[in-house]
Copies of this chain bind each other. A is one copy, B any other.
Amino acid sequence: MKSFFMRLFLALLLFANAAFASGPLPSWNDTAPKQAIIAFVEKVVKPGSRDFVPVEKRIATFDNDGTLWTEQPLAFQCYFISDRIKALAPKHPEWKDQEPFSSVLKGDMRSALAGGDKALLAMLIATQAEITTDEFEKIVTDWIATARHPKTKKLYTEMVYQPMLELLAYLRANGFKTYIVSGGSVDFMRPWSEKVYGVVPEQVIGSGLKTQFEFRRGNPVIVGLPKLDLIAVGKSKPLGIQSHIGRRPIASFGNSDNDLPMMQWTAAGSGPHFCLYVHHTDAKREWAYDRKSTEPFDKGLDQALAKGWTVVSMKDDWKIVYPFEKK
Q: CB within 8 Å of B: which residues of A?
A: 56, 59, 133, 177, 186-187, 190, 194, 200-202, 204, 208, 211-213, 219-220, 222, 229, 235-236, 238-239, 242-247, 261, 264-265, 268
Asked if B245 and A202 sit within 8 Å, CB to CB, the answer is: yes
- Give the complex CA separation of A73 and B73 in angstroms: 60
With A211-B239, A213-B235, A238-B213 as contacts: A202 and B265 at CB distance below 8 Å: no
- Are B133 and A220 in touch, CB under 8 angstroms? no
If A213-B238, A238-B213, A264-B220 touch, whether A202 touches B247 (CB-CB below 8 Å) is: yes
Q: Return A87 CB to nearest CB of chain B, in Å.
A: 24
Decide: A238 and B265 in contact? CB cutoff 8 A: no
Knowing A220-B261, A238-B213, the reply to whether A204 touches B246 (Cβ < 8 A) is: yes
Q: How distant is A42 from chain B, measured CB to nearest CB, in Å?
A: 24
**Given the contacts A222-B239, A239-B222, A268-B220, A213 and B261 also touching, CB distance less than 8 Å:** yes
Chain B residue at smallest Cβ distance from A265 = B220
Q: Is the CB of B56 within 8 A of A194?
A: yes
Cβ of A213: which chain B residues have Cβ within 8 Å of it?
Answer: 235-236, 238-239, 261, 265
A235 contact set on B, CB distance < 8 A: 212-213
**Complex contacts, A264 vs chain B, CB 8 Å:** 220
A219 CA to B194 CA, complexed, in Å: 34
Closest 3 CB pairs of A and B: A201-B246, A213-B235, A202-B245
Q: Which of A202, A242, A246 has its CB near the most chain B CB atoms (within 10 A)?
A: A246
B186, A246: Cβ atoms closer than 8 Å: yes
User: Given known contacts A177-B202, A220-B268, A222-B239, what 20 new A-B pairs fall within 8 Å (CB)?
Assistant: A56-B194, A56-B200, A133-B242, A187-B246, A190-B246, A201-B246, A202-B244, A202-B245, A202-B246, A204-B246, A211-B239, A211-B243, A212-B235, A213-B239, A213-B261, A213-B265, A220-B238, A220-B261, A222-B242, A222-B265
Q: Which one of A177, A190, A204, A239 has the greatest number of beta carbons of chain B within 10 Å?
A: A239
